[in-house]
Amino acid sequence: MFPRSGLRLLAAVLPLALLAPAAAHAEKVVTEDAAGDVVTLPDGSTSESTPAPDYAGVDVQRTTVAHGDRRLSVVVGFRALERNPFHLTLLRVMTPSGRYDVAVERLGGKPVASLAGGPGDAECRGLKAKVDLGADTVSLSMPTTCLGSPRWVRLRVGSVAASSDTAQPEMGAAYVDDAYRGGEVRDRLALGPKVRRG
C-alpha cells in the first residue's frame, strides 16, 4: 500500500505525463557503400564507364534514411564531398503508391532541393536541403505528406559531378557513384532497403 504522500505525488505528476508530447519516433536504416567505387562516364553513357577510384568528390560512403510519422530525412555521407559547385545528389523515393524524384543541386551558393512526381506534381513546402563541407554530407528532409504519408519507402541514391578539362573542353566527363551498388553504374540506380514508418 502506497503512503498517502506518494499517492498525492502520483496524482500530481500523472496528468502532466499524459499531457506531455510523445517523442517523435522514426525507423532509421544506415547503409554503407564501398570506398573507391566511383566511375566516370566520358560520353554520358553507362556502357562506356571506367573506374575512377581516386575521385573522392562523389564517393558515397554512407546513406542514412529516417522515416518518421511526419518527416523523411536522408543524410548522404561522402569520402570527401565535391568542392566544385557543379554537384548533384539524386534520390528516387519509392512508396506503395508511387515514386518521387528528389534532387539536391549545388551550382554555387546555397543548395537547391526539388521534388517531382506523385499525383499532380505539387510543390512540397518544407523540403529542406543542407550541404556540410566540414562533415562531407548532403542532407535533406521533407514532410511525409509530400509523399502521400506512405507506410514505407525505398530509395535509389546517386551522386554526380561534372568535370571539364579547360585545355580541352570536349574532354569533359561525369563522375558518378551509386550509393547501393559497388563499382558500377547502370541505367537505373540500385534500390536500397525498405524503411518503414516509425
Residues 165 and 18 sit within 8 Å (Cβ to Cβ): no
Confidence bin at 122 (pLDDT 50/70/90): low
7 falls within a domain:
no
Task: Evaluate if residue 92 carries a pLDDT over 70.
Answer: yes
155 falls within a domain:
yes
142 falls within a domain:
yes
Tens of pLDDT, residue by residue over 137-158, are 999 999 999 999 999 999 999 9
Confidence bin at 195 (pLDDT 50/70/90): very high
Rounded Cα distance between 15 and 175, Å, is 58
Q: Which residues contact 174 (CB under 8 A, 6 or more apart)?
A: 40, 41, 44, 160, 161, 162, 163
105 falls within a domain:
yes
What is the distance in angstroms between the CA of the first residue and the CA of the last residue of the chain?
Answer: 38
pTM for the model stands at 0.82
pLDDT of residue 71: 97
What is the phi/psi pair of residue 38, to 5°?
-75, 145
Task: Evaluate if residue 14 carries a pLDDT over 80.
Answer: no
Rounded Cα distance between 93 and 37, Å, is 23
Point out the least confidently predicted range of 12-16, 79-83, 95-99: 12-16
Average pLDDT, the chain: 83
Confidence bin at 38 (pLDDT 50/70/90): very high
pLDDT of residue 164: 58
The count of domains in the chain is 1
Q: How far is CA 173 from CA 20, 53, 107, 163, in A?
A: 55, 15, 17, 5
Domain residues for the domain of 35 are: 24-196
For residue 13, give the 3-state DSSP assignment. helix
12 falls within a domain:
no
Task: Evaluate if residue 6 carries a pLDDT over 70.
Answer: no
Residue appearing with cell numbers 574532354: 171
132 falls within a domain:
yes
Rounded Cα distance between 63 and 91, Å, is 11
81 falls within a domain:
yes
11 falls within a domain:
no
Confidence bin at 21 (pLDDT 50/70/90): very low
pLDDT of residue 12: 44
